[in-house]
Structure 1
């Protein structure tokens, strides 16, 4: 690393340490705890193949004779399975490690797709206005009139019926990401449009027009960076919403297949056994899901507060 590159990184770190966001973060124990929990979940998701004692996707690594074994410390427990096994004989710890990764992946990629579609539409609608703005926003209003879960249920049910269950199981992750991403883009579009309507009247945009910059250059290079704060707040909420939506779809039998379970499908798979005494099959994944969503929402609340300029208008 050259001295100039090192000095650049050092200068960047100093600016981060002097920023309002950094000082607010280190003084907010809730935000720090939420970020730490979320970081642990992210690391677990990435390192699941290394951390998991067994591979729940490999049918040769579990036995139906080991089904519904309780966690260690309970009567009938097996020392091989720390958190017990599910109805298929899979190690619960391993399935939750893999399932957490799938749930987080669905949340992140679905949110990225929402952001890509919504931001593009919001920028174009807000900057050009007129009939194009009216058309795009009315289309967004129509989209918002249907709940995400309703749209997802219809599309996934039709897809499974037409493409077949075997084909769906192979591409379930991609299909769920596409469905959730396409269903939720109006949230981004409306927010970005409102930001663009405020920004395009400012002097720096007029100056960019005067020097002859193209409209799309102005939109993406100059106006878009000024929408990052609200986008960051929305994204934290939307990641949590996407994970919850996938869990709801899995509970209805339209989410991830049983061979590649997410946290939602693990909860569903164990729900029918909860009254027979095998409570851990549902309880452990449900607890992980609750902690994950809570950490994301608490971090989103902190971001909303610290990035709200009205809090510092005195």
Structure 2
């Protein structure tokens, strides 16, 4: 994942604390459950999927700030003094431990009353690639920091639904006055996840091939859930360069398994994917890991982009 760890120095922490109240007053929409800003719960989310959960479950009772800006690669996020101040003054923080080490550092140093770690709300697994029976050569540096676990749980609607349940419990604890509304919003969101899961199951039940090639190994949970096989050009690092051996292996696999498409994503360069696709006579298309919503996203929110991903997979796999 090409993660760069930025340690927050003691001086930065002091500056952040000193700036905290001023920064928050300048941020539109920021509020707190103690009565400031209309009584809304001030929630900080580390990146888009968790922002989506906070807004869907929290509804009108929360004000959500996303630390990762649209178009920014979340794995490379570095925490500024301003963002540290936002964390210090927030009522709750949602993050996924080991996905963004700089966020982990900031959360550990903060005094936020409610810290919700999405990684603790479901089961993380290891995902790897094999081509022709041999392990693919790729960089697992970020995966090793997470104990070898794949963090991309939000791309499996069932696991992400489990995370959502945990987020709902956390919001209820942080703001018991509106627990009933959080429960009702969670019930509505659960139906959306159930419908999305059914669409994927039905839509991918009968296909010409079960194998797809992606830029990096973000779709292991999705593949496992729906009986598919993901082969990644790179490993968990979306920006590493594949070896010549790996490229040859993928080209051989594509011919043997009837692969038609090499998928790339919106937040990193598509150069490698398009080169491999061209050399192997394959198509290139987008399969979005939904780490952020931008003007290039094929949808306005998580559910819409997931259904765009489903359509892309159906086309690539020859769904019937």
TM-score range relative to shorter protein: under 0.3
Bigger strand share: 2
Relative CO higher for 1 or 2, CA cutoff 8 Å, sep ≥ 6?
1
Larger-gyration structure (1/2):
1
TM-score by length of 1: 0.25
Q: Which has the higher helix share?
A: 1
What TM-score, normalized to structure 2?
A: 0.25
